[in-house]
Amino acid sequence: MEITRTEILRRDWPGPSAVLALLKPITWFPPMWAYACGVISSGQPLSAAFIAAALGVLLAGPLLCGTSQAVNDWFDRHVDAINEPDRVIPSGRMPGRWGLYIAILMSLLSMAVASLLGPLVFIAALVGLALAWGYSAPPFRFKQNGWIGNAAVGLSYETLPWITAATAMTGLMPANPILLVGLLYGIGAHGILTLNDFKSIRGDSEMKISTLPVLHGAQAAARIACIVMALPQLTVVGLLAYWSLPYHALAVGGLLTVQMVCMRRFLGDPVGRAVWYSAVGVGLYVTGMMVTAFGLRYAALPPSLG
């Protein structure tokens, strides 16, 4: 049967659905949410900087996070062929080296948009891109170790967008309370990232990727994830109370209490309930982030903690 030129082009170029699958829109939520928290916590009126806020959300989600997903899928294509062969690259829907080309193009586009938001945001975007590439690409490949890799993602998904947003809204480095809260929620996100590793224990073991479940076993890794998620939130509760925000402290404490109840069920079957707890626990976690952001917005905070 004769093959037409159109059919050849379709084989050589990825379709729109394949590009979207590579960029994984469902993963854009955490950094976009963190950026929104940073906007809220800055205390600036949204109407006065709507364009900056909108560009920042675009930068944090579709651009920087989308880039990280493309980079990760390209350099993980051999692991995915074992764990998730239906993913866009191992399944062949993303032909040739297009996964790599899209990652590079998205990196350049991210830098272009970041440059519109000022030098501090541009520097933050470069840090985010460095973490995105370093997480998946050799020679660094931070994801080879669950402690280092999850820390890099947590900081780039939560801390960096939060601080970047506050910077974009004011043109200045954020006050210390905002920096501290952004850092704490980034640390807690380390535990969230560990939840994603339970589904790929077999493939990670075969490819010698030392995630926490591979390093310490499923039960110990689940305990670590829960502790790492809970302790930063407990610290935030204490800080909110210290900053004379008792109602916000009570709300975040209540959300943490529900999480801890869910954690007990998760610990009973970490592998089987990781996806369930990720859906339930993470929703409560990010709700606490927004409650904290509104507390910082309306509190009379000093510029430093001293």
Asked whether residue 57 is assigned to any structural domain, the reply reads yes
Residue 202, domain member (yes or no): yes
- In contact, 77 and 90? CB cutoff 8 Å: yes
**What predicted TM-score, i.e. pTM, was given to this entire model?**
0.88
Is 49 strand, coil or helix? helix
Tell me: the pLDDT tens digits for 10-19? 557 888 999 9
| Residues above pLDDT 70, as percent of the chain | 94
- Return the pLDDT at 10: 52
Is 154 within the bounds of a domain?
Answer: yes
More reliable by pLDDT, 171 or 228: 228
Specify whether the CB–CB gap between 214 and 143 falls below 8 A: no
Taking only the tens place, the pLDDT of each residue in 95-145 is 989 999 999 999 999 999 999 998 989 999 999 999 999 999 999 999 899
Within-domain flag for 173: yes
pLDDT value for 172: 84
How far apart, in whole angstroms, are the C-alpha atoms of residue 179 and residue 160?
A: 9
**What is the extent of the structural domain holding 229?**
15-298
Question: What pLDDT score does 72 carry?
Answer: 93
Q: What is the pLDDT of residue 33?
A: 96
Mean pLDDT of the chain: 90
User: What tokens does 26 get?
Assistant: 């469902």
Is 178 part of a structural domain of the chain?
A: yes
* Number of domains making up the chain: 1
**Average pLDDT, integer, range 196-216:** 87
Whether 206 is covered by a domain: the verdict is yes
The H or E element that residue 273 is part of is helix 270-298
Domain-located, residue 10:
no
Calpha distance 55→305 (Å, rounded): 31
Query: Closest Cα partner for 162 from 139, 186, 140, 143?
Result: 186
Tell whether 290 is covered by a domain.
yes
Supply the CATH number for residue 169's domain: 1.10.600
Q: List, in sequence order, every residue forming a beta bridge with 210; answer none if it has no partner.
A: 145
